[in-house]
Amino acid sequence: MKGTRSKLSITLAPDLIRAVDRAARKHSRRSRSAVIESWLRRAARMDSEDELRTATIAYYESLSAEERKQNAAIARSSSRAARKLKIDGG
């Protein structure tokens, strides 16, 4: 994401700095900042995916037996309807 950036000073262990430098060299001499930003974005995305997965599991576990039965019926019906679709002339 381009745009306004803020400067941040961090302290890292030497082994992590070496890993950042290796990644920077491996990817056409990217800056340390670019490598660290990429890693942080990936970690943030994975964290968001974990939160969504946890919320989804909690939702389905909270359903009553009747709601689960209704969901299963809807899924079966949707699957049957989807098999009848003709997509791209297929």
**Tens digits of pLDDT across the chain (90 residues):** 567 889 999 999 999 999 999 999 998 889 999 999 999 999 999 999 999 999 999 999 999 999 999 999 999 999 999 998 888 875
Regarding pTM above 0.75, the answer is no
Domain map of the chain by residue range?
14-83
Cβ contacts of 20 within 8 Å, gap of 6 or more: 12, 32, 35, 36
Residue 20: other Cβ atoms inside 10 A: 19
